[in-house]
Structure 1
């Protein structure tokens, strides 16, 4: 754990303000869920909560199933990073931060389906793009995205059955976060 050198006082309602610089750096905005931990030395630790990150094993198994059925690469992202992928080399996307394009889709809770040549960059600094991305919603809140990754050798776009599978996977993962 590294010190920031910033000290804040708690108000009479028990609130502490997280400085703007830290919120910006950590991509914490209004409504971002935070998990609270107490370490062995009595310190209080805040960590961004990721319901999809908690389900990374399920997300990985779902990715593998959909990839096998579609014959295409797939990836699952929480709000910050790619947490699961299948059908593509793991090093291409796994644990990389999501792209600005994907962040914007999540902010709007908007699905994306390529009309042919347009795609969405999956991860910052990555080369992999998505032909389709579907929001993973839990009780109306965005938790992440389920993506069909573009195969450079395949025809542009995605077959309708692949899109239905990806929508189903996103809906399933969203339901799993509430159980």
Structure 2
């Protein structure tokens, strides 16, 4: 663990202020849920909570199954990071932060079906490999937009259609239901 040199006191209500620099670095915004861990030595660890990230290897296996069945790259994200990715470009995208543009798509609960030249085309991570087409569907759980299912296509001659849109929508609904 890395020491920051910052010391804060707990107030009479048991609250502590997380410094702005740390919130900015870790992309923690007002209202974000934090998970609290303790260990036997008395250490308290705060971690940004991700309901989608709680699936562990199951979500990775699900992404892999979809990628193999559809012949495309599949990403499953929460509101901040790529939780699971399978298919072409996996190494560049895995565990990276998502772009502000994708965060907006998720928060606005928009389904995107776009080609690269379209103004609706959304980069998923800053280090995105080259894709020519995408389907993005937000994952909604208990009324909250908690992430997205993303299908990415590199094959110019193999275009996405209504089937990919429906599968993305069904996958997002399934994951949303599992989180409740």
Q: Which runs of 4+ in 1 moved over 6 A?
A: none
What corresponds to 1:41 in structure 2? 41
Mapped pair 1:154 → 2:157: yes
> Are 1:76 and 1:147, in contact at CA under 8 Å, matched by a contact in 2?
yes
Aligned-pair CA distance for 1:25: 1.3
What corresponds to 2:134 in structure 1? 131
1:121 is aligned, of 120, 123, 132, to 123
What corresponds to 1:75 in structure 2? 75
- Range 144-153 or range 81-90, more displaced: 81-90
Mapped pair 1:62 → 2:65: no
- Range 159-168 or range 104-113, more displaced: 104-113
- Range 91-100 or range 18-27, more displaced: 91-100
Matched residue SS, 1:27: coil
Relative to the length of structure 2, the TM-score reads 0.87
> Are 1:92 and 1:128, in contact at CA under 8 Å, matched by a contact in 2?
no
Aligned-pair CA distance for 1:127: 2.1
Matched residue SS, 2:163: helix
Aligned-pair CA distance for 1:115: 6.1
Q: Deviations over 1:7-38 (max 9, x none)?
A: 22212211111111111111111221100011
Aligned-pair CA distance for 1:89: 4.5
Q: Deviations over 1:53-93 (max 9, x none)?
A: 11132222322332233232211112222121223243132
Question: How many matched pairs?
Answer: 177
Mark the runs of 5 or more structure 2 residues left unpaired by the alignment: none
> Are 1:128 and 1:149, in contact at CA under 8 Å, matched by a contact in 2?
no
What corresponds to 1:108 in structure 2? 108
Aligned-pair CA distance for 1:172: 0.8
Aligned-pair CA distance for 1:98: 1.2
- Range 41-50 or range 107-116, more displaced: 107-116
Mark the runs of 5 or more structure 1 residues left unpaired by the alignment: none
Relative to the length of structure 1, the TM-score reads 0.87
1:85 and 1:149 mapped to 2: Cα distance? 10
Aligned-pair CA distance for 1:134: 0.8
2:165 and 2:74 mapped to 1: Cα distance? 11
